[in-house]
Amino acid sequence: MTGIALLLPITLSTMAIVLLAPVLPGILAEFSGVPGHEYWVPMILTIPALCIALLSTFAGLLGDVFGRRRLLMASFVIYAAVGVAPVFLRGLWAILISRVGVGIAEALIMVLSTTMIGDTFQGRARDKWLAAQTAFASLSALLFFNIGGQLGSFGWRTPFWVYLSALLMLALVLVYTREPKSDVPHGQAAKIHAHASSAGWAGFPWARMLLILAITVYGAIFFYTVQIQASSGLAVLGVTNPARAGFLTSIASIGVPLGTFAYSRIGRWPVQRLLTIEFALLAVGFLLMGRANTAGTFMVGCFVNQLGAGLLLPTLLVWAMSLLAYEVRGRGAGMWQSAFALGQFLSPVIVTLAATHVGGVLNAFVVFSCGAVVGLVVLLLCASKIARMGDVDGASLLANLHG
Q: How far apart are CA 368 and CA 319, in angstroms?
A: 25
Q: Note the pLDDT of residue 392.
A: 43
How confident is residue 260, by pLDDT bands cut at 50, 70 and 90? confident
| Count of CB atoms situated within 10 Å of the CB of 388 | 11
How confident is residue 384, by pLDDT bands cut at 50, 70 and 90? low
Q: How far apart are CA 38 and CA 27, in angstroms?
A: 10
CA-based nearest residue to 399, from 323, 329, 334, 336: 323
How confident is residue 356, by pLDDT bands cut at 50, 70 and 90? confident
Q: How far apart are CA 121 and CA 127, in angstroms?
A: 8
CA distances from 1 to 136, 195, 327 (A): 15, 34, 25
Write the DSSP symbol of residue 161: G
Please, are residues 337 and 313 in contact by the beta-carbon 8 Å criterion?
no
Q: Note the pLDDT of residue 147.
A: 81
CA-based nearest residue to 129, from 142, 109, 115, 145: 115
Write the DSSP symbol of residue 91: S
Write the DSSP symbol of residue 257: H
Angle, CA 267 vertex, CA 255 and CA 214 arms, to 5°: 80
Give 214-259 pLDDT, tens digit per residue: 888 998 888 878 877 787 788 889 887 766 776 787 788 788 888 8
For residue 61, give the amino acid letter: L
For residue 69, give the amino acid letter: R
The yes-or-no verdict on residue 143 having pLDDT over 90 is no
Q: Note the pLDDT of residue 393.
A: 41
**Strand positions, DSSP E, 239-388:** none
Give 183-211 pLDDT, tens digit per residue: 555 444 444 444 444 345 666 777 888 88
Mean pLDDT of the 45-58 span: 85
Mean pLDDT of the 29-58 span: 85
The yes-or-no verdict on residue 369 having pLDDT over 90 is yes
Q: How far apart are CA 6 and CA 28, in angstroms?
A: 35
Q: How long, in residues, is the chain?
A: 403
CA distances from 135 to 243, 259, 292, 342, 367 (A): 23, 8, 27, 20, 27
The yes-or-no verdict on residue 366 having pLDDT over 80 is yes
Q: Note the pLDDT of residue 233.
A: 86
Q: Note the pLDDT of residue 243.
A: 65
